[in-house]
Structure 1
Amino acid sequence: MSTQDRYDVIMDPTDTWTVWDLVNDEPAMFGEHVLAGLTQAEAHAARDVMNDAWRRLRQNALQKHIDAA
């Protein structure tokens, strides 16, 4: 995980896993679904997808800003 990533995984007290949104300090959402109650493998895969999407969105926004300048 990079220091610029938005999402991480945490283990719940019930021994399941949650993808955690570090920006909003709450469980991550995918559409209307809370990314909680997952297996460790599911949580890590979801975190990787969410972080990849986050990086792409930030990169696109930066590129639009540069192009507008």
Structure 2
Amino acid sequence: MIDSEFVGAHELRVLLDGISRQRVYQLTARPDFPEPVADLAQGKVWRTSEVTAWIAQRRRSDEEAPDARPAEQP
């Protein structure tokens, strides 16, 4: 777990189970992703608490979503 008030792209990859840098960029560009608190020379940073809340909300949504697979035919 990340023990810092702020996270950058690398820490986002860690929090999101090692996703690619490209996927981090895609997720952070989403309108529902938290806004960065700063855009530094080394990249954007976000509040850890906001990012972890966003991740938890998305995981809950995924768990509550109905099974999208079609029913098996006998």
Q: Give the TM-score, by structure 2 length.
A: 0.40
Structure number with higher strand proportion: 1
In our comparison, the structure showing a higher alpha carbon Rg is: 2
Higher RCO by CA contacts (8 Å cutoff, separation 6 or greater): 2
